[in-house]
Amino acid sequence: MIRSLSKYKVTLIVIAALVCFFLWWNNSRGYNDDAMAGIALDAGIDQSSILEGEDASSKLEPSFNKYVDSWSEQGASDTTDFSITLSSTDYEGISESGTQIVSGLGDQPGQALALMDEDSWADYSFEVPEDGYYQMGMSYYAMEGKRSSVVRSLQIDGKYPFFQAKKLEFQRMWKEAGKTWFDNQNNEFNPRREETFGWQYREFRDAEGKTYEPFRFYLTKGKHTLRLQAVREPAAIGKIDIYSPVKVPTYAEVASTYEQKGYKKTAGQLIKAQAELSTLKSDPTLKRIEDREPLTEPFKKDSIVLNTFGGASWRTGGQWAEWEIEVPESGLYEIGARYGQWFLNGMPTQRTVTIDGKLPFKEMNEISFPYKAEFQVAKFGGDSESKEPYLYYLEKGKHTIRMEVQVGALGRMLETVTDTTRKMSLLGREVIQVTGTNPDPNGDWRLEQNIANLVQRLQLMAKSFDDTIKGLYELGVDKGSSEVSPLYEARDVLLSMSKDTTSIPGRMLQFNDLQASLGTWVNGLSKQSLLLDYLIIKSPDTAWPKPDAGWLARTGTMIYDFTSSFTKNYGGIGNVYEDEKVLDVWVARGRDWVDIIKQMIDEDFTTETGIKVNVNVIPAQQMQVLLLASTAGLAPDVALGVEGEIPIDYAVRNGLVNLEEYDDYDEVAARFRPGALIPYKYNNGSYALPENQNFNMLFYRKDILQQLGISESEIPDTWQEVMDLIPILQQNGMDFFYPHAPNNPALAINEFAPFLFQQNSEFYREDGKYSNLDSPEAMKAFKLWTGLFTNFKISKQADFYNRFRSGEMPIGVADYSTYVLLSTAAPELTGWWGMKPMPGTPQEDGQINRSTGGLAQTGMIFKDTDMKEQSWEFLKWWTSADTQERFGSELEALLGVEARWNTANIEALKRMPWQSSDINAILEQWEWFKEREVVIGGYYTTRHIANIWNQIVLNGKIPREAVEEGVKEIDKELRKKREEFGLNDAPASSSQATSKGGDSP
C-alpha cells in the first residue's frame, strides 16, 4: 500500500496543493470585515474641504435628519399638550392668481381654499406657547388634475427648514373600475383603475418614507407664518393642524393594558384577506399580478390568474394600499401575511401597518419582511421563528388594514452614503485643482502636501462606509449580499488610496465611477418592493398557513409549464380571433405595454369601428423578425414600435403602403412636428407615422451657477456661450456634459446631428446619392463637436445624472430619461435645477437655430395587407391625441412616472402631467425638431461618424483627413446600394432635410 502510494506521491502532493489553494482562495475572495482594524482615527480631524464654501450643497437646505440633530444639540426637545387648528379660509395672504374658494366638496360642509395652479400659495399665521418641536398635518381634497399625486412645499417664516419640506406629497385615492376581465383564452386582466375623490388627512412627512415619524419643526415661542405653495396638481385644503409631537406607545405598553381591559384571546379563527382584492390604494401603478407558485391563492395551471398584489411596482416611500376585513367576534388576534420578498438580494424591506387609520403601537411603524427566494409567512411582531407575534384587539365587525412603504430603517444610512459620496466629490475636485483634468500619471504631485489631511479624510470616508456595512448587517441584511458589495468596494478603494497617495491621479476615473455606482446604490435601496398573496388574521391557537409548496409540487408545476410552452401561444395578447377577418398587429414593446394597447383596442377601437384586431408581441430591438416575416409572406397588417431607421428599408423593397395615398394623410400628418416625418419619406411618398419622440435639453443647477455668478437669464443659449463657460467650470473643478456613448457607435450620429443641422447643412446631397459631410458647413460642425472634447477637454464618458447631483457637472445636454430621473429620484435638488432648450447657433436673422432630432418609434402598414383601409383606420386611431393621452395615462398608472410616454403627438404631449415650466421648455425645443434623412446605404454614415470622432478625439488626426477618409467610404457604399436597388437614375428621397438612421446591410 505504501509502495503504491509512493508511486503517486507527486500527483498526491499536487492535488493536495490545489485543494489548499482552492480553500485559501475561496476564503479570501470575499471582502474583509476587519479592514479598518489597526487604523487609528482621530475623531477631531478636520474633514472639511477647501471647496466647502464654494460647494453648492452649502446653499441647499439641510436634510431633515441634520436639521433635527442640529437643534437637538442646542437643547431642543418636544413640546407637550399643545394643539391648534387653522381653517384654510383663514389665510393671512394668498397669491394674486391660482387660488379659489370652493364649497360642497365631499362630505365636508362649508368652504375651503384650493390651490389650483402651480406656484399659487397661501400664508397662515399662528402662535406657539414655547420653544421646541412641533408636528403638522392637514386635511386635503385632491381635485381633478393630471392623475399625479398632489405636491406642496412648506415654508416657515419665509424659509424652507429642510429640503424635504420642498416636496410634501399627498396621495390621491384609486380603486378598480369594476371587476377583472378575461380574454377568450381564459387569461385574467386587471380592470382599469379610477380615481375616487374624498377628504383625506396626512401628517407632513417624508415623501420617500425615509423617516419613521412625521416631521418635527423647531419653533420659537411667539408668532410664525406658514406658507403652503402648490408644486403640482390642484387640491383644496380643509384644515391645518399644528401640535406637540405625538408619542405612540410601544407594544409592551399596549399589551400591559389588555388584561386590565378584560381582552381575551379569540379561538379557532383563521381569516385570509386576499391581497389582490385591495379596496383602495394610493397609486394606480399598484395592481394585481400573476404568480405561479402552487400554494398561491387562487391558482390556475392552464391560464393567467392575477392572484397577488404589488411586486416591483409597490416600492416607493409613501405608496399604500388597504384591505377590508371582517372579524366574527371581539378579542385578541394575531396578524401576518404570506409574502414574497426576493427583490433586494439579502435585504429586508419594511412597511408601516395601520388599523382603522391608526398606528396600534410604535413597532407597527417598521414591520420587516426579510429576504428569501421563495414565499414566506410574516408574523407581524416576530420573525419567522418567533413563537410570540404581537396581539391585536379587534372589535367584532369590519376593519381596514393599510400597509405603506417605509424606508425609515435605511434613511440615515442612505444619507450617510450620500454625504460621504459628496465628500468624495469635493476631494476629487481638490485633486483636479492640483493635477489638472489630464494629469501625468507618473508626475510627483505631492498631494499630501497640497491637500490638507488627505490620508485621514480618505480613511474617515472608508470608515463611514464600513460603519454603514455593519449597520446593514445589524438590520438583518444577509452576509455576502450583493447589495452590500458597492460599499465594500468603495471602502477598499479609499483605503488603498490612503496607503499610496501617489496612485490617486491615475485612479480618478475609478474614483468617479465609484461615486456613480454609490449614487445608483442609494437609488436602488430606496425602492422597497414587496409581493403579497394574502393577509392573515387568526386566533393565537390556530396554526399559521404553510408558506410555500413542497419541492415536489413546485417541480410538477415547472414541468407542466415547460411542456405546455410547446403548444401555448405566448405572442398573442388578449382576445385572439381565429377563422375570422381580423386585423393583425405586431408590437415591438414589452408585454405590460402591449397589454394596455390590446385592452384599449378591445374597449375603444373595436367597439367604435367593429374591426377585430389580433395583437402579437415581438421582441423590441429585434426588427429582423419583421424582415423575415415579410420575406416569408407572413408579415402582419400593421407594425408598431418599429425603430425609426427601419421603414425605408421596407419602402425601398416595395414592402409598405405609401400613406400619402390616403386622402386624409395631410390631416393626420399635422398631428406631428414636420421635422419628425422626414425619416419616413422616400421617392415622393411617406411610409410611417411617428409614435414617440426623444428630445435633448440643457439641464442646469441653479445654485451652482449662481455661485459662479451666472444667473438663470445668463444660462448659455449658444455654443459659443457654452465654450466661454467651460473654462470657468473647469477652474472650479467642474465640467460641462455633452453625451457620448463609446460603447454604442450607432448613437454617434445623433450626437453629431445638432451641430450639422444648426449649420444649415444636411447629411446627403443630390437626393442621397452622395455624402455631404465634406461640405464647409459640415466641416465646421465636426470641428465644433469634436473640439468640445479636444480643445476643451470635457469628459468623454460620464454618468451625468449622478455627477449632476454631486455638483461636478452642474450643466449639460441630456435626454428625456435624465428629466425623469431628476424629477423622481433627486428630492434634495427640488427647486434647484432647471431645463431649457439646448444651445444653438445664431442665424443672420437673429434667431438661434437649436435644431436637433430624437430617436423615434413608428407605426407602418405592410403592402401585402388585404385590409388596407382598416389598417389606416387603426393607425389613425392609434396616433390620435385622445388615444395617445389615454395610453400615456394608463402606462404611467401601470409603471410609474419612470415610464411617462413621450408621445410624438403635439396635442397629446400638452395633456400629459408635465409641470407647466417643463412642458413650455420642451415645446420650445420642439419648434426646432428636425430628424435626419434615411437613405439606402446610410448605415455607413452612422458607422463612419463614430470612426471620425475616434480618429480626431482619440488618435489626434486632423479633422479634414478623418472626414475625407470617412466620406470616401460612405460614398462608395451609397453607390453600391443604389446600384443594388436600381436607384441610380431615380430620386431617392423627396426631402432635402436630414433624418435619422439607415437600412441594415
What pLDDT is recorded for position 990?
A: 36
What pLDDT is recorded for position 615?
A: 92
For 884-927, how does the pLDDT look when each residue is reduced to its tens digit (9 = 90+)?
998 988 888 777 777 888 899 999 988 888 877 888 888 888 88
Does the structure show a pLDDT above 50 at 802? yes
Comparing CA positions, the residue from 510, 486, 485, 515 lying closest to residue 496 is 510
Does the structure show a pLDDT above 60 at 385? no
For 814-826, how does the pLDDT look when each residue is reduced to its tens digit (9 = 90+)?
988 888 888 877 7
1-10, 25-34, 404-413, 767-776: least confidently modelled range:
1-10
The answer to whether 91 and 227 are in contact (CB under 8 A) is: no
Give the pLDDT band of residue 5 (cuts 50, 70, 90).
low
Q: Higher pLDDT residue, 480 or 298?
A: 298
Which H or E run includes 532? Answer: strand 530-538
What pLDDT is recorded for position 515?
A: 86
What pLDDT is recorded for position 989?
A: 41
The answer to whether 253 and 361 are in contact (CB under 8 A) is: yes
Residue 954 DSSP symbol: I
Alpha-carbon span 742 to 509, nearest angstrom: 15
For 488-497, what is the mean pLDDT?
93
> Could you tell me which residues come within 8 angstroms of residue 304 by beta carbon, excluding any fewer than 6 positions away?
187, 188, 290
Alpha-carbon span 900 to 731, nearest angstrom: 38
What pLDDT is recorded for position 573?
A: 67
Give the pLDDT band of residue 25 (cuts 50, 70, 90).
low
Is residue 874 exposed (0-12), middle (13-18) or buried (19+ Cβ within 10 Å)? buried
Give the pLDDT band of residue 437 (cuts 50, 70, 90).
low
Q: Higher pLDDT residue, 79 or 696?
A: 79
Cα dist. 712→58, 114, 700, 857, 884 in Å?
A: 19, 30, 9, 34, 34
In the chain, % of residues over pLDDT 90: 54
Q: CA angle 259-263-267, nearest 5°?
A: 125
pTM of the model: 0.82
Residue 531: half-sphere exposure toward Cβ, Cα within 13 Å: 25
What pLDDT is recorded for position 384?
A: 47
Residue 852 DSSP symbol: B
The answer to whether 678 and 993 are in contact (CB under 8 A) is: yes
For 459-468, what is the mean pLDDT?
93
Q: Which of 2-16, 51-65, 191-205 has the highest mean pLDDT?
A: 191-205
The answer to whether 305 and 183 are in contact (CB under 8 A) is: no
For 151-174, what is the mean pLDDT?
95
188-202, 421-435, 714-728: least confidently modelled range:
421-435
Q: Higher pLDDT residue, 569 or 37?
A: 37
Alpha-carbon span 739 to 18, nearest angstrom: 48
What pLDDT is recorded for position 15?
A: 77
Phi, psi of 225 (to 5 degrees): -120, 130
The amino acid at residue 266 is: T
> Could you tell me which residues come within 8 angstroms of residue 166 by beta carbon, excluding any fewer than 6 positions away?
61, 153, 154, 160, 231, 827, 830, 831
Alpha-carbon span 344 to 367, nearest angstrom: 16
Give the dihedral sign, CA 739/741/747/752.
Answer: positive
Calculate the average pLDDT of the chain.
88
For 695-719, what is the mean pLDDT?
90
Give the pLDDT band of residue 938 (cuts 50, 70, 90).
confident
43-47, 247-251, 663-667, 805-809: least confidently modelled range:
43-47
> Could you tell me which residues come within 8 angstroms of residue 362 by beta carbon, excluding any fewer than 6 positions away?
248, 249, 250, 251
What pLDDT is recorded for position 997?
A: 33
Residue 110 region, left (φ>0) first, then alpha (ψ -120 to 50), else beta?
Answer: left
Does the structure show a pLDDT above 60 at 807? yes
In the chain, % of residues over pLDDT 70: 93
For 278-324, how does the pLDDT look when each residue is reduced to its tens digit (9 = 90+)?
999 998 889 899 998 899 989 888 788 999 999 988 988 889 999 99
What pLDDT is recorded for position 986?
A: 47
Alpha-carbon span 168 to 235, nearest angstrom: 13
Listed in sequence order, the DSSP H helices in 436-537 are 447-450, 454-475, 485-499, 508-525
Alpha-carbon span 863 to 865, nearest angstrom: 5
158-167, 404-413, 798-807, 989-998: least confidently modelled range:
989-998
For 230-250, what is the mean pLDDT?
95
